[in-house]
């Protein structure tokens, strides 16, 4: 069985442009784990104030 951290390191080397949340989701899927992060609905106006940002997502860790 793979160590999750080793798997994340392997995925990061294989896909150098991937974001950390994408690597974590891929590692979870490969190991058969549920996603540990969930995306929150847009509950505030941060995207309006961050016009220079191309993507803005708010995530929180799921309760165990």
The Cα 27–Cα 15 span in angstroms is 12
pLDDT band at 53; cut points 50, 70, 90: low
Maximum alpha-carbon separation in the chain: 45
Confidence at residue 37, expressed as pLDDT on a 0 to 100 scale: 66
Residue 64 pLDDT exceeds 70: no
CB of 56 within 8 A of CB of 46? yes
Confidence at residue 41, expressed as pLDDT on a 0 to 100 scale: 67
Confidence at residue 48, expressed as pLDDT on a 0 to 100 scale: 59
Residue 45 pLDDT exceeds 60: no
- Report if pTM > 0.85: no
CB of 60 within 8 A of CB of 37? yes
């Amino acid at each position: 069985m793979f160590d999750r951290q080793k798997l994340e390191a392997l995925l990061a080397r294989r896909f150098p442009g991937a974001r950390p949340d994408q690597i974590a989701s891929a590692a979870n899927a490969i190991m058969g784990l549920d996603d540990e992060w969930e995306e929150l609905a847009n509950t505030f106006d941060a995207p309006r104030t961050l016009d220079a940002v191309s993507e803005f997502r708010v995530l929180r860790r799921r309760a165990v």
